[in-house]
Amino acid sequence: MEDTAEPSDPELVERARGGEREAFGVLYRRHQAYVYRFARAMTGSSAVAEDIVQEVFLALMRDLERYDAARAGLRTYLFGIARNLARYKARSMRRLISLDQVEEVSEFEDPAETLSASQENRRLRRCLAGLPARYREVIILCDLQELDYAATAAVLSVPIGTVRSRLHRGRHMLLERLRSRDGLPVAKRCLI
Amino acid sequence: MNDNEAMNTDEKELLSALKALAREEEGLAAGPHVEARVMRAWDEARGTGAGRRPSYLMPALKIAAAMVLAASAAYWWGGGAVPPAGPEPGVEPAVMASWPSSETLAWLDPEPESLQIVHVRVASAALAAQGYALSDPDGDGLVELEVIVATDGTARGVRVIPGSAAIY
């Protein structure tokens, strides 16, 4: 977690509200990678994820006064913005190409990364990208970003019970997708 | 019983695979160009940043510009509303200061306006030394000029009296 010697997010937000450029820069560098990975997992595109990162921090810049640290942590707040942007952009992408094509585009988008990535992770990523957004996002937040149920519920603006049920259902759907490709047990499928 | 205990083997293996995926993606982040764009937007919105002029510089530039305009206005209109006659090419009022007074013959013509025209006879050799070669039609080594002088004593313009000399 964060170094206690570092200024806290609320402190940096307060300083940024006062116009301190470096405070906002620290906030960006502290959180951008988390937002980027979440957006990338949601959209399957590095370029779209970078656009989302930019838009998320521009939104934070515009609404610094509106952010209330008592209601949610800053990262949770940023994930909430990123989630809305990712869903909006995903809808736009669906108008142009089918989901299968999206998966192919995602796979070939970063050739160098594709070469270095392990096969099982690429396969898992493809299956995850094929899940409906409401299940995909809860798995990404809980299992990849390792948010707890309460924080995930805050990001998604749903009750904690809904998070638990979607997570349960989503994991099963993901397993089914992994099984449907080759019929092997999960452990072997993920290692192929 | 917690969630992990309720999971079957497949789910546990799935979670393990997801953790491996998360570890693989740990180093991923947006490129530096994204940070540059975000911070540029901050600078534009807040009017700060290393790439911009310091905040004190713009008022200073405005004051300097106003002073230049005021000085120009005072120069051209400070002594009255009449704009000066344009000097002949190559003859500048500044030359007057270096002219030897012993070789200058001047008299004042009363004028109704605040500007006065001063007729001067100047040694042509002195003008030639300044780079202004004039003819000497009288052969006495002097040429006749008109200088427009403001009430503050500042020369506003100089011209050669037609027929008295010619500039070469």
Could you report the predicted ipTM of this complex, rounded to two decimals? 0.75
Q: Which residue has the higher pLDDT, B111 or A94?
A: A94
Own/partner pairs, A108-111, CB within 8 angstroms, 24+ separation: A109/A44, A109/A45, A109/A46, A109/A47, A110/A46
Dihedral angle of Cα A137, A140, A143, A149, to the nearest 10 degrees: -40
Same domain, B98 and B155: yes
Same domain, B15 and B70: no
Interface test with A, best of B4, B12, B18, B46 (most A CBs within 10 A): B18
Residue A75: CB atoms within 10 Å: 18
Give me the domain span that covers residue B128: 94-160
> Going by C-beta distance under 8 Å and a sequence separation of 6 or more, which residues neighbour residue A153?
A159, A160, A162, A163
- Amino acid A179: pLDDT: 82
Tallying the residues shown for chain A, one arrives at: 192
Same domain, B122 and B68: no
A186 with B39: Cβ contact below 8 A: no
Same domain, B36 and B68: no
Same domain, B143 and B105: yes
Cα gap A126→A178, rounded to integer Å? 10
Give tens-digit pLDDT for B12-65.
Answer: 888 988 998 888 888 899 999 999 999 999 998 887 554 444 444 455 555 666
Within a domain: B89: no
Same domain, B77 and B122: no
Report whether pLDDT(A159) > 80: yes
Q: Which residue has the higher pLDDT, A161 or B120?
A: A161
Within a domain: B141: yes
Interface test with A, best of B38, B46, B52 (most A CBs within 10 A): B38
Nearest CA to CA, how far is B61 from chain A (Å)? 24
Looking at the structure, give the CATH architecture of the domain made up of residues A1-116. Answer: Orthogonal Bundle (1.10)
Within a domain: B86: no
Q: Give me the number of domains chain B comprises.
A: 3
- Chain A residues within 8 angstroms (CB to CB) of chain B: 19, 21, 24-25, 28-29, 32-33, 35-37, 40-41, 49-50, 53-54, 57-58, 61, 117-118, 120-121, 124-125, 139, 143-146, 164, 171, 174-175, 178, 185-187, 190
Lowest mean pLDDT of A22-31, A175-184, B13-22, B52-61, name the range.
B52-61
A19 with B37: Cβ contact below 8 A: no
Amino acid identity for residue B47 in this structure: G
Which CATH topology does A118-192 take?
Arc Repressor Mutant, subunit A (1.10.10)
Within a domain: B165: no
A190 alpha carbon, distance to own chain's centre: 21
- Amino acid A178: pLDDT: 86
What's the predicted TM-score (pTM) here? 0.57
Cα gap B116→B114, rounded to integer Å? 7
Overall average pLDDT of the A150-172 stretch: 94
In chain A, what are the domain boundaries? 1-116, 118-192
Same domain, B112 and B62: no
